[in-house]
Chains A and B, each alone.
Chain A
Amino acid sequence: MRASEVRALFAVVNRPEVVSLAGGMPYLEGLPLDTIADTMQRVIATQGTTALQYGSGQGHQDLREQILDVMRLEGIDAHPDDVVVTTGSQQALDLVTRIFIDPGDVIVAEAPSYVGALGVFRSYQADIVHVPIDEDGLIPEALDETLTSLAAQGRRVKFLYTIPNFHNPAGVTLSLERRPRVLEIARRHGVLVVEDNPYGLLGFSSDPLPAMRSTDDEGVLYLGSFSKTFAPGFRVGWVVAPHAVREKLVLASESAILCPSNASQLAISAYLSTSDWKGQIKSFRELYRERRDAMVGALAEHLPDASWTVPDGGFYTWVKLPAGLDSKSMLPRAVTGRVAYVPGTAFFADGSGADHMRLSYCFPTPDRIREGVRRLAAVVNAERELVEIFGTSPAPDAMTDIETPGPDLL
């Protein structure tokens, strides 16, 4: 099944009859929309000529200072000049890749990895090499082996792309103990670390872990975002980079978009200075924890033969299907069964991952999550019967297109 076919099947997910466990959309009904409306009204009324004007390519000074407050929660100590505001952290990914990657260069990423990043890497003709993970995130020994082997082959590795907290799609978190080891291995191999951290403040049980950037300000490019902790509609993210890289990022961003939206930046700046944003994040954490509980409870009840990660934060669980099932070829059956998920193949550059699927619990209510998993179980059971009859799953795909679902699915 080709990428376009998978994408077309997703066309049904915005129908109310379908329970979508596919999307990565934050639950914005949890926001105080009235207050935000007042804030935005005030921004235009009092700072309209700035908000609606071109701005700095690096981003608005006030917001960059406030971003430091956000990052301080994860132990990052930086200067406002180190921060480049971007149009979502997706643009930061694009800029970083554009600056560093020549066609054929290698990017090392977790197996699995964020589909939106794989799409960017592929568009700059990077060669993506996956490194396995376990329940504690990236496996340092495997990383070391991979980098050693790539060096022996004479391959040029530009950076390690990692999502240390509440991984998308895997739901796991890089343990505290492994963080310095990963950094040390990257440093030893002369490889930069791109730390993508949109979910770090959305942990369910403990204080945020220190970011990798908090202990290494030369070897780490840090990507942050307001999309998951506040609202993706503003499209505001940022990158923190060492000086030499930062200048290039600003130039690249200016050539791409001139400047990030001033209106969005000032709205977020006003929100941060006038609202209890930490309280809002706390309420999101509670909301998502309840949904995580609904998800893993329903999986245990309805899909006991599968296995899954139990995320301690973020939006996703990564489900391993019973043996022999193929999540991509099962998707049409799921659409018929009125439930949607993202096939695991989306999160690999090499076509693997068909034995997994990503389920998200961020958007549907707990009742809908339970109903979705119940439907999914019926789909899995029907597919399993089929596989038993024919003794096979469908032919493995020769294609390794990265299926990039629409932005509401990332």
Chain B
Amino acid sequence: MTYSPRVVVLAGGLSHERDVSLRSGRRVAEALRLAQVEVTVHDVDADLMPMLAEVQPDVVWPILHGASGEDGSIRDVLGLLGINYVGTGPRASRVAWSKPVAKSVVARSGISTPDYVTLPQSLFRELGAQAVMNAVVSKLGLPLVVKPSRGGSALGVTLVQTPAELPHAMVTCFAYGEVALLERAVTGIELATSVIETADGCQALPSVEIVTEGPYDYDARYNPGRTEYFAPARLSDEQAAAVAQTAIDAHKALGLRHISRTDLILEADGTIQFLEVNVAPGMTETSLFPQAALAGGHTLPELYRSIVETADTH
């Protein structure tokens, strides 16, 4: 009898990125069904635990963006239940989920990442917002990027060009979370490099180059047509190899597993700057991971199935 794993795809969740997660989950489930995998899509709610007990899946694939999906907590629960799952374990998820912590970990392994500072909202209240903002601007310079220290899809992210824009950006950011990451803005070729682990080992998929008019914000990410993608990216062989190696290095330095997507900037002088990493990369019709997979000559059903099989250690 042919091996046919039973998979539960977790999608939805109660986060700002619920919509993206639902769309990603549906896409992955469709592809897996085409690969003869038995798939159930489920939200993270009070019915989940009884459902898992009943279905007894071979593998759970958490495609949850934001909050419990990426901070490791759902993965902790799956571990408690002894269920195999696709993706990074809880501790490494927690590290990757916090952008400043991830930056410091990859920096220790020799990867470049733009200078930054992490500041909670309470600090601005205690020390006076203007004084803190002045200090940040004089240390990091302008332009700089303000983003919530956790979270994806560019929600709450602002590119700040002048000091006058900074207070607005801080307010926008803190609506999403209590801690802000302020990072020196680097310019160059914007790249997303996905890493997968299958029976063939750990490999980087071709990088995807992102070209937008204006910021690569939420709207640009999820509305077809606002962004131009090049997959593979328009890089020389040496550049492509160096970028791929950086993504693999980051994947390993952070202890990630099965699947990740690293966002990078290739500067004009050849420096590769690490921005952030996603343990549950978007899988929607406009997302970067599926584009990279196709550019790498994979078909999505086969690739997703082989990722599931790698995760299934039964």
Contacts and interface: CB of A to CB of B under 8 A. Distances in A.
A5 B169 CA distance: 16
B175 interface: yes
B269 interface: no
B16 A332 contact: yes
B22 interface: yes
B222 interface: yes
A332 B125 contact: no
Given A9-B16, A386-B121, A332 B129 contact: no
Nearest to B148: A332
Interface residue SS majority, chain B: helix
Contacts of A11: 18-19, 22
Nearest to A4: B219
Q: How large is the interface on A (under 10, 10 to 19, 20 to 34, 35 or more residues)?
A: 20 to 34
Interface in A3-28: 3-5, 7-9, 11-12, 15-18
B129 A383 contact: no
Nearest to B173: A394
Given A329-B175, A390-B171, A391-B167, A2 B121 contact: no
B287 to A, nearest CB: 14
Given A8-B218, A12-B18, A390 B45 contact: no
A28 B163 CA distance: 52
A332 B175 contact: yes
Contact of A391 (B20, B22, B121, B129): B129
Contacts, number: 87
Interface in B167-193: 167-172, 174-176
A392 interface: yes
A393 B174 CA distance: 11
B89 interface: no
B210 to A, nearest CB: 17
Interface residue SS majority, chain A: helix
Contacts of B22: 11
Contacts of A402: none
Contacts of A389: 121, 124-125, 129
A306 to B, nearest CB: 18
Contacts of A18: 14
A333 B175 CA distance: 5
Given A389-B129, A390-B129, A2 B218 contact: yes
A331 to B, nearest CB: 8
B45 A15 contact: yes
B124 A394 contact: no
A171 to B, nearest CB: 26
B223 interface: yes
Contacts of A12: 14-16, 18
B155 interface: yes
A16 B14 CA distance: 10
Given A18-B14, A386-B171, 12 more contacts: A2-B218, A4-B222, A12-B18, A329-B171, A330-B175, A333-B176, A338-B14, A383-B175, A390-B167, A394-B169, A395-B165, A395-B168
5 contacts: A2-B218, A11-B19, A18-B14, A329-B172, A332-B155
Considering the complex of A and B, which 4 residue pairs feature the smallest CB-CB distances, nearest first? A11-B19, A2-B219, A395-B168, A8-B19
